[in-house]
Amino acid sequence: MDRDWCDAIQHGDIKRLRERLASGADINAQDPHGQTGLMIAASHGQVDVVRLLIERGALLDHTAKYGLSAIMLAVVNGHVEIVRMLAQAGADLALRGSGAPGFYDKTALHLAEARGDRAMVEVLHSRASS
């Protein structure tokens, strides 16, 4: 992942992202930590970027450091709308974190429950039961 792509994701620059995608940018390129653009957007709360990347077919379930996926990063960072979008798009809710004590063997739902975030818990419960 090059710096321009990462910068556009972190700052929510949809125009630049569309231009980069149109010119062949790898939607699933990874940063030095193994995170994709979707993961970075999810952790930074970039709703419009997440929407664009989902629409364009970004991998929903890629994991990186500590075994966290985009939906897990959205939970950890308190971005309920992104959690909703990823859940509706079909993100794997059975994935479990690894490595760090706070994430080890925990799903997105476990992480939401640990945060005490009832809205996220409801979103994840409703997706898991459907």
Please tell me the predicted confidence (pLDDT) of residue 45.
97
Domain membership of residue 112 as a residue range: 3-128
How far apart CA 76 and CA 57 sit, in angstroms, is 23
Please tell me the predicted confidence (pLDDT) of residue 5.
93
Cβ proximity of 61 and 89 under 8 Å = no
Please tell me the predicted confidence (pLDDT) of residue 18.
97
Total domains in the chain come to 1
Please tell me the predicted confidence (pLDDT) of residue 128.
72
> Residue 32 maps to which CATH number?
1.25.40.20
Instruction: Please report the sign of the dihedral spanned by the C-alpha atoms of residue 123, residue 82, residue 86, residue 108.
Output: negative
Please tell me the predicted confidence (pLDDT) of residue 60.
98
Per-residue pLDDT of the chain (130 residues; tens, 9 = 90+): 899 999 999 999 999 999 999 999 999 999 999 999 999 999 999 999 999 999 999 999 999 988 999 999 999 999 999 999 999 999 999 999 997 788 999 999 999 999 999 999 999 988 876 6
CB neighbour list of residue 116: distance below 8 Å, 6 or more residues apart:
none
Residue 90: left (phi > 0), alpha (psi -120 to 50), or beta?
Answer: left
- How distant, in Å, are the alpha carbons of 48, 52, 119, 123, 128 from that of 82? 9, 12, 12, 11, 16
